[in-house]
Every structure is written in structure tokens, then in C-alpha cells.
Amino acid sequence: MKKIFLTTIALLSMASATIFGMYGPDSDWITFLTDGNRFRARADQLGFTLGNDTIKGTFGFDNNTGFGGTYGGLLVDNDGTHYSFVPSISMGLAYTSSLISVGVGYNATVGSHVEKFNGKTEPKTVNKSAHTPVLVLNAMDNAFRMAIPIQVFVDNDNTGGTKMTTTVVSFDAQFRYYTGLDALPQIRLYLRYGGGNFKFGDISEKIGESFGFDFRLYFGSMVEEVALQPIIKLAYNGALGKYHKNTRVEAVKIMNGYTVDNLQFAKSAWDLNLVAGLGLTANSDIVSLYLEPQLGLQVTRKAPSSTQTPGAAPAPVAIASDSYGLAYNVYAEIYITPLKNLE
């Protein structure tokens, strides 16, 4: 068995391929239809993509969108007693062609250990889980690309004799268009929505609802052997309604313990970011470098605090003022490729 496993790794590693990463329960899936054959083993990812010019598949593990702890480990110390294996397990199958490519994917995202009674005297230790079906589609010789993952988390419990149900649905869809123009090679649009409710017996309450978008323009030029790619990004996230102050509701994060404040607020919270960046790419026979400094302006509207419960008329409160901030960030990637298929 060990020999078969090592042989499989070797064959996958030797296949001619492009860089790819395992797919989590988000829009990382947008590269699935164009990724080449490759086996990957990292601290937070493990798996492969394999296929030919028509059919391809993938299977692997991702670190559950940051839940794993230090360095995004797949195995974490849950409570000092139990260790939790908390990956997002991805699998997918696709048909590819120059005219149109389409694929379906699925993520089973595993959460931490919890104890549930469910009407019994002794608790049972189980793992929470979220499910993410994904649709990916490319067209126009891969010039147009889209990925639509839908995260679903449903949790039922009967501790104390009263049935409690938490339901959260969210998506983070991504659309790309590669124009073929040197001056404006790429346009991206991200659309985000999340919402859910909590039911305790016959009482049902919202636990939050949000909407957001991220629009990016990528420009391009060359200076000698360095590729320059100026980037402009406009991003917005906002709470819908007057139920909470969280600007982004995600099913997997709520499963992992991220709480949404569902008190009544007089105004919805939102944030707006305008970011300018400059991507610089330089390559040699062995080393490739990508560097992207960014400078951004953020406008934030926080919801005024209130002690009202959901469904009740909000108490009079002062309108929150907008706050402004500047941020600077540098992102970098370095690839060292001593041999063609070793990176």
C-alpha cells in the first residue's frame, strides 16, 4: 500500500501543470477549470487535481477558512482534551473545452466537537458541519469565468427538552472577465450575501443578514522586464435591516463559533473600502517574484448601540458618525523552481 501511495504521488508530481491550491468553501473554486494536474501537500492543504483536455476531477482538504489555529493546521486542540480534525473536504468533477467548460464541486466543512443530549440523559459528542455545493463555469475560451459556492449550515439540538434550530445560508460568488487588452486585461466582481435565523421552540428570530460586493479593475504595462499591474478595488459590506451590526454573515464562520449580535439597532452598520494597488512581477529561470503594495481609504458606519430586542421598536439613539481610516499593506509571493515540476 505504501508503494502504491508513493507511486501515485510521484506520477502526479511529474505531470506538466500550473500552480493551483486546494479549494475551500468559497470562490477559490474559480480556478478549478483552468488548473493543471498537480499534487499539493502544504501545512493547510492536501490534495490533487487530475484530468485531460476534456474531463478533470479534484479531491483534497483545506484548513476550514482559518479555523485551524496556528498556521491553519488541519488538526487542532479543541478543549485541552479532544483533538478535532477540522478540514473542509473538497471534491469536484468538470467537463472542459475551448467553447464552454462547466464543473460542479462540493465541500463538507467539519467544525469542532460539541456535546448534544437530543432528549437523552447522556450527551453524545458530535462534530458540527456545513455543506457547500459549487457551480463553476468558463466560456469564450476561458475569457469569462464564474464560481458560485453556496454555504449551508443547519444545527439542531434538543438540550433541555426544547428544540433549537440554527439555519444560515451564505454565498461568495466571483465573476472574472479577461478582456485580451493590454491596458485593461482583467475585470473582477465579487457578490456576497449571508443570512439566517434561530428557532427556539415556537419562537423564531433573525440572527443577521448582510450584503456586499467587491469590484476590481486590473490594468497592465511593461517596463523593461518587469510587468506592472495597477489595481483599483471598491469593496462594500453592509448589514441589512436593523437587527445586527455585523457587516458580513458567513455560514461556515457561524458554525465555527463566530457570533452575530442580533440586538435591535436604529441604523445598519456598513463599511466601504477604496484601495489602489500596484502589482509587480519579475521572472528568472529559477525565481519568480510578485510584489503588490496597496494603499486604501476606509469609511465605516457603526450601528448605534441599543438594548432593544428583535421585533421591537428601536429606542431613540444618537446617529453614529462615519469614521475614516487609511491603511497600507504589502503582499508578496516568491516561487523557486529549480526543476520544471518541482516548486
**% of the chain with per-residue pLDDT over 90:** 39
pTM, rounded to two decimals:
0.81
Rank 161-170, 286-295, 303-312 by mean pLDDT and report only the highest: 286-295
**Same domain, residue pair 134 and 211:** no
Query: Bigger pLDDT: 267 or 149?
Result: 149
Query: Bigger pLDDT: 109 or 215?
Result: 215
**Same domain, residue pair 114 and 71:** yes
Single-letter code of the amino acid located at 29: W
Residue 207 three-state SS: strand
Confidence of residue 12 (pLDDT cuts 50, 70, 90): very low
Q: What is the pLDDT of residue 72?
A: 52
**Same domain, residue pair 51 and 84:** yes
6-15, 113-122, 180-189, 207-216: segment of lowest average pLDDT: 6-15
**Same domain, residue pair 141 and 263:** no
Is pLDDT of 229 > 60? yes
Cβ-in-10-Å burial (0-12, 13-18, 19+) of 82 comes to exposed
Q: Which three cell numbers stand for residue 55?
A: 474531463
Cβ atoms of 221 and 235 within 8 Å: the answer is: no
Residue 318 three-state SS: coil
Adjacent-strand bridge partners of 326: 297
**Mean pLDDT, rounded, of the chain:** 81
> Domain ends where: 154, 173, 192?
154
Distance CA 127, CA 255 (A): 10
Sequence-distant (6+) residues with CB within 8 A of 283 are: 225, 289
**Same domain, residue pair 190 and 323:** yes
**Same domain, residue pair 244 and 110:** no
42-46, 70-74, 85-89, 136-140: segment of lowest average pLDDT: 70-74
Where do the DSSP E strands lie in 63-123? 75-77, 83-85, 88-95, 100-116
> Domain ends where: 102, 134, 154?
154
**Same domain, residue pair 222 and 327:** yes
Distance CA 112, CA 110 (A): 7
**% of the chain with per-residue pLDDT over 70:** 76
Query: Which residue, among 146, 142, 63, 57, has the nearest Cα to 106 in the 3D structure?
Result: 57
Rank 85-89, 113-117, 320-324, 332-336 by mean pLDDT and report only the highest: 332-336
Is pLDDT of 235 > 90? yes
Distance CA 331, CA 215 (A): 19
Q: What is the pLDDT of residue 330?
A: 92
**Same domain, residue pair 54 and 148:** yes
Residue burial 49-69, b: 16+ Cβ < 10 Å; e: rest: bbbeeeebebebbbbbbebbe
**Same domain, residue pair 178 and 319:** yes
Q: How many domains does the chain have?
A: 2
Distance CA 51, CA 18 (A): 13
User: What are the pLDDT digits (tens) for 43-74?
Assistant: 677 888 889 889 999 999 887 655 544 445 66
> Domain ends where: 115, 137, 154?
154
Q: What distance, in Å, lies between the first and last C-alpha atoms of the chain? A: 27
**Same domain, residue pair 135 and 245:** no
Q: How many CA atoms lie within 13 A of 35 on its CB side?
A: 25
Dihedral-angle region of residue 184 (phi above 0 means left; psi in -120 to 50 means alpha; beta otherwise):
beta
Confidence of residue 158 (pLDDT cuts 50, 70, 90): confident
140-149, 284-293, 303-312: segment of lowest average pLDDT: 303-312
Query: Which residue, among 143, 138, 302, 291, has the nearest Cα to 229 in the 3D structure?
Result: 291
Residue burial 85-106, b: 16+ Cβ < 10 Å; e: rest: ebbbbbebebebeeeebebebe
17-31, 151-165, 200-214, 291-305: segment of lowest average pLDDT: 17-31
For residue 124, give its domain range.
1-154
Look up residue 122 and give its DSSP letter. Answer: S
**Same domain, residue pair 180 and 149:** no
**Same domain, residue pair 6 and 70:** yes
Q: What is the pLDDT of residue 163?
A: 82
Average pLDDT over residues 231-235: 95
Q: What is the pLDDT of residue 204?
A: 83
